[in-house]
Amino acid sequence: MSKRRLLCAGFSFLILFLCYTTSCQAQNNSFCVPSSCGDISIRYPFRLKADPENCGHTEPIFALECQKNRTILSSKSQRYNVLAINYNNFTIRIADPGLDRDNYSSCQIYSSVDNDLSSSYMYLASSQSITLLNCISPINNSLYIENPYCGNKSDFSNSSKILSYFVIGSLLGSDLEESCTFDTVVLTSSSIPLQENATYSTIHVALAFGFELYWYRAMCGKCDASKGTCIVEDNQIRCRHYCYEDTLLSERTLRCKLDYYAPFIVLIGLSVIGLGLLIAPRLLCGLPFVLGLIVYKWRRRHLSVDDETIEEYLKHQDNLMPIKYSYSEIKKMTKSFKDKLGGGRCGTVFKGNLRSGPFVAIKMMANSVASGKEFINEVAKIGRIRHANVVKLIGFCIEGSKRALVYEFMPNGSLDKYVYSQEGTVSLSYEKMFKIYLGMARGIDYLHQDSEHIDIKLHNILLDENFNPKISDLGLVKLYPLDDIGGVLYKADLYNFGMMLMEMARRRGNMNPFAENLSQVYFPSWVYDQLNEGKELEMGDATEEERKMMKKLMIAALWCIQMRPEDRPSTSKVVEMLEADIGILRMPPKSFPIFGEIAKDDEYTARVEASV
């Protein structure tokens, strides 16, 4: 009798605790009423600094200030006036605090690009750019529009009067007058189209209008935590979860796992309820034993079936499979793993020799969640691939937990060391780079016939003795958990390919005279403006044919990095662009992120001569 009373008291305490915590959370949320400053309505993800922290996003940039009835947004280095917050299209419009729309003599305070505005949750929307210049003498050039009120603020020490000029869009180095220096690039989201013959008043109004930042990613926290895909649809934030039967169970979202286990959960639940009603005391003692027995039987059956099916599968795949090596043979090829070439999240690569003489690259796989049968399936699939731009799989090894892949050796290493111009690396010509990226596009197009995503990265592109590109690590992404690899996005390979082209062009150094000042934040926008206005990209002493090649690469890149995945072309269309005559290519819309940065994977920088 006393046990029943204790059990009832425990359940009562649990119910009261849950109700109390729920009411507390409701009370905390009730404090988060919308704020306002002037005519600006402020609600989540934004908040005033005086409001409770839980009323806004955790990023400091979403904490606004209200000073003299004016809303202020602060980055790490600069402050801006907030002119509007649109909760329908998820944008915030800000402007330099020195600019006043009704005061034409007001001047911009900041003279440097604020890279701190772009973050994981907030980024620049598409906008028009205006270049600011300082000159020590009057300029007679139709591109230069005089700013009569904002001179005498330069660092020129030997000049008594400094003149300020505007140039619509970006400026070529050849168009920069000798007496002028670059000041900064400013943005405007004004709907007024700015032409080269614009007046000072038109430019002033456009700058005072400010520029917009997208912030919808700040609303995706719960979706990201649930491993969903966060999208904007009909002016609403949507979280999509997709369940695929061929996806590893460990990679599925919680909802997909529940869908998979639902029949088992219902069956076990009904069994527990039935047994509980009949023999509750005995159930408490016997349930752990029953569950342990079920798990033991399942694991034993799974392992035995897996081992049998692997051997049976190999018997029927002799004509298609790569060569199967024993672990002792792998160890002998690598001389006990003496010569390490590189390593990454999928494993470590060693240089080896076949008995017939040729060098090979042997990847010892890191621990994965894939079963032996899944590993063999991927080996069989990769082994069937025969393409000039895909690394050939020669053989494999599977002994217990030890697994290895044997690839052809790529003597010129990976593409990243040529793009990032490591010291002592041979610089590739424009023609050679064009052929490399064309080969990459052909390889991606071939692989996309059987796979939607192959994890394209610079260090996954290897070069043979003739600098022909070959894609490596295809298929390996499927053998590892989602947390280790990253979410698979629709047409993500095309976006990565486009950003590789942009990174290659930016790293050439001589294509943009202001590359150091602009970093990569504005580089795609600068390239778009140059091509859209019919201007030539500066390429030093490049030939006319090389200029055409680079222009085709840049147009293809701009298509590949379109913001909306459905606007990006297919891989076969990209190949057609690169093989077509430059005269028939058309420019894409100016709808792409201008804040992206392809980060260099430090895990692959050490000795990647044949990393696969």
Contact 78, 72 (CB under 8 A): no
CA atoms of 225 and 232, how far apart (whole Å): 17
Q: Which amino acid does the sequence have at 468?
A: N
Q: Which of 51, 455, 493, 529 is catalytic?
A: 455
Helices 571-579 & 492-507 angle (0-180, nearest 10): 40
Give the per-residue pLDDT at 502.
Answer: 85
Domain ranges of the chain: 35-128+184-219, 251-315
What does 105-148 look like in DSSP terms, one character per residue? Answer: T---S--S--GGG--SS-EEPS-EEEEEEEESS----TT-EEET
Residue ranges of the chain with per-residue pLDDT less than 50: 1, 15-30, 154, 156, 302-308, 314, 318, 424, 482-488, 490, 519, 595-612
Helix axis angle, 430-447 relative to 544-560, nearest 10°?
40
Per-residue DSSP letter, 580? S
Asked if 84 and 100 touch (Cβ cutoff 8 Å), the reply is no
Query: What's the token pair of residue 606?
Result: 């050490």
Question: Does the pTM exceed 0.75?
Answer: no
Write the pLDDT tens digit of every residue in 527-549.
Answer: 888 888 888 877 778 888 988 99
Give the pLDDT confidence score for residue 367 in this predicted structure.
72
78 to 41, 116, 443: CA distances (angstroms): 22, 9, 45
Catalytic-residue membership of 581: no
Rama region for 64: left / alpha / beta (φ>0; ψ in -120 to 50; rest): beta
* Cα–Cα distance, 471 to 461 (Å, whole number): 5
SS3 percent helix, strand, coil of the chain, rounded to 5, is 40, 20, 40
Angle at 473 between CA 479 and CA 444, to 5 degrees: 115
What token pair was written down for 499?
């950003």
Residue 58, classed as helix, strand or coil, is coil
Which amino acid is located at 40 in the chain? Answer: I
The pLDDT of residue 343 is 78
Cα gap 334→477, rounded to integer Å: 25
pLDDT tens digits for 10-27?
555 554 444 444 444 334
Query: In this predicted structure, what is the pLDDT of residue 434?
Result: 92
